[in-house]
Amino acid sequence: MIFQDLNNINLKNIPVIIFGSGPAGITTSLGLEKKKIQSLIIEAGDETYHKDSQDFYKGKVTGDHLSDISLSRLRQLGGTSGHWGGWSKPMENYSFDGWPIKAEDFENYIDRTCKILNIKNQFNRSKLNNYFNQIQFQYSNVRFGEKYKKHIKNSKYIHLVLNTQLSHFEGENKVVTNAVCISRNLTKKIKSKYFILSCGGIENSRILLWTREKNKKLINKNLPIGKYWMTHPWIISGIGVINKKKIKKILGNNFLNYKGPLHFAASNKLLRDKKILSAGIYMNAKEDTKFYKEIIKQILCVAPEYGKKIAQTIFKKDLKCGNIFMNLEEPPDKNKKITLNHEERDKFNIPRVNLLYKKSHESLLTAKSFLEEFANLCRKQDLGRVALKKNIFNLDNLNENLSGFHHLGGTRIGTNKLNSVVDKNLKVHEINNLFISGSSNFFTAGYTNPTYTIVQLSLRLAEHLANVKNLS
């Protein structure tokens, strides 16, 4: 059922309250529903976008340039899935280094994750050489609010209330006793057996930080809330021509022939040999004569013979021409963090966030090394040519093109309370009934878009809660 406020909801028989209706929140409720467990989703926004509601997400970024943090997330039913790109695949196995859980712990959730995202369970890879793999993404067109609104409305186990802001938690003796919410400008305290915070890669930290200020006895003062924040720097790194026919010849039957951009990712060997982080690139082909002419012109300057050759064959379907885009991993850094800005507050007097962001030299070095190796591979095996932008070779100025829309970390998973906030089951350290789900849990970032992993984490959390003895 869907409610507009908290007044008409009987909370007595609802053992789990979930804050946030994005992919993490809705997925967790779906997992609990499968086990016939009642849950209530509390969403701060409305069914659709409203400017006044979105204002709550405003915050300040200090340090290096980053995309506007209020525009890259949505405060509405379905959360940021209302405008996400849809690119989906599991994280690489090596990306779980340092996590208390591994890639194999997610295997039981692959089919269910694909069903939720309306994608095929086809994430193939082919070894191009020792350093690079051709990889396959799946594209999801799911907007969680649109897809699951009717399902929630008719569900016996999932309840949803809109336009209700979580301010903070109250509690003592390692237990959250109340969630303090604001609904239609009225403050109300609600109780439950278990609370799940699924408000995104920035808001989760904000609410926990505010809770700790309001109730210092509930949350350990040493938990690194807001720290180790990460994103995926996204770079337009150059232009190029890739010969699909020649790549297919190398890979044989293992060539991934699907519609859309050609994707390539670094192997674990490349990461070890060059001492870099993970990264992935893709080429978005353009059917534009003017664009093709520009590419040929640039290639003729540096590789005249190859330029002449492609000039004669450029419009054959064997060739892919276009911009080269790159997704980079960032290393965890406790100095990149979310804090509360007490000088700027929202309508409900809750401090807005200040995000201290500093570009990573390791990430920039990864971009340079990765692209150089890939360009050399294309040249040596005559797979095509890649013209890299000049600033790729100037690490100090590379931030001109950096942009990160994924918000990761801040309430990271782990076993050590000095560098993590939640345990392997996503329970906040030293609090018995408070869990966090979403991208803020990521211990490391990898290069892969996070939503697929968020859904897996949320299904795993629902299964864990379903096994709790006193949950009914």
Q: Is position 378 within any domain?
A: yes
148 or 308, which is more confident: 148
Residue 146 and residue 68 share a domain = yes
Residue 157 and residue 195 share a domain = yes
Q: Is position 340 within any domain?
A: no
Residue 216 and residue 255 share a domain = no
Q: Is position 382 within any domain?
A: yes
Residue 196 and residue 169 share a domain = yes
Q: Alpha-carbon distance 233 to 66, whole Å?
A: 9
Residue 66 and residue 33 share a domain = yes
Q: Is position 112 within any domain?
A: no
- DSSP letter at 285 equals E
- DSSP element (H, E) containing 228: none
Residue 317 and residue 197 share a domain = no
Query: In this predicted structure, which of 296-305, 349-358, 405-414 has the lowest mean pLDDT?
Result: 296-305
Say whether 403 sits in a helix, a strand or coil: coil
What pLDDT, on a 0 to 100 scale, did the predictor assign at position 411?
98
Residue 20 and residue 61 share a domain = yes
Q: Place 458 in a pLDDT band, splitting at 50, 70 and 90.
A: very high
Cβ contacts of 317 within 8 Å, gap of 6 or more: 244
Residue 167 and residue 26 share a domain = yes
Q: Place 227 in a pLDDT band, splitting at 50, 70 and 90.
A: very high
Q: How many CB atoms lie within 10 A of CB 104?
A: 9
CA distances from 45 to 5, 254, 313 (A): 11, 46, 53
Q: Alpha-carbon distance 231 to 359, whole Å?
A: 10
Residue 444 and residue 295 share a domain = no
The answer to whether the beta carbons of residues 99 and 461 sit under 8 Å apart is: no
Identify the domain containing residue 323 by its residue range.
Answer: 234-329+361-401
The answer to whether the beta carbons of residues 423 and 451 sit under 8 Å apart is: no
Domain boundary among 373, 401, 429: 401
- DSSP letter for each residue of 230-256: B---EEEEEEEEEEHHHHHHHHGGG--
The answer to whether the beta carbons of residues 225 and 212 sit under 8 Å apart is: yes
What pLDDT, on a 0 to 100 scale, did the predictor assign at position 381?
87
Residue 177 and residue 152 share a domain = yes
- 71-89 residue pLDDT tens: 888 999 999 999 898 999 9
> How much of the chain, in percent, has pLDDT values that exceed 90?
65
Domain boundary among 348, 377, 401: 401
Backbone angles phi, psi at 376, to 5 degrees: -65, -40
Which residue blocks in 264-386 are alpha helix, DSSP H?
Answer: 268-274, 289-302, 304-313, 361-380
Q: Is position 101 within any domain?
A: no
CA distances from 5 to 46, 87, 165, 186, 386 (A): 11, 34, 10, 10, 56
Q: Is position 283 within any domain?
A: yes
| Residue 328 amino acid letter | L
CATH number at residue 34: 3.50.50.60
Domain count, the chain: 2
- 136-181 residue pLDDT tens: 999 999 999 999 999 999 999 999 999 999 999 999 889 999 999 9
Q: Are strands 164-172 and 175-183 parallel, antiparallel or unpaired?
A: antiparallel
Q: Is position 132 within any domain?
A: no
Q: Place 317 in a pLDDT band, splitting at 50, 70 and 90.
A: low
Q: Is position 471 within any domain?
A: no
Residue 389 and residue 306 share a domain = yes
Residue 425 and residue 374 share a domain = no
Residue 67 has pLDDT above 70, yes or no: yes
Buried (b) or exposed (e) across 119-155, using 16+ Cβ within 10 A?
Answer: beeebebbebeebbbbbbbbebebbbbebbbeebeeb
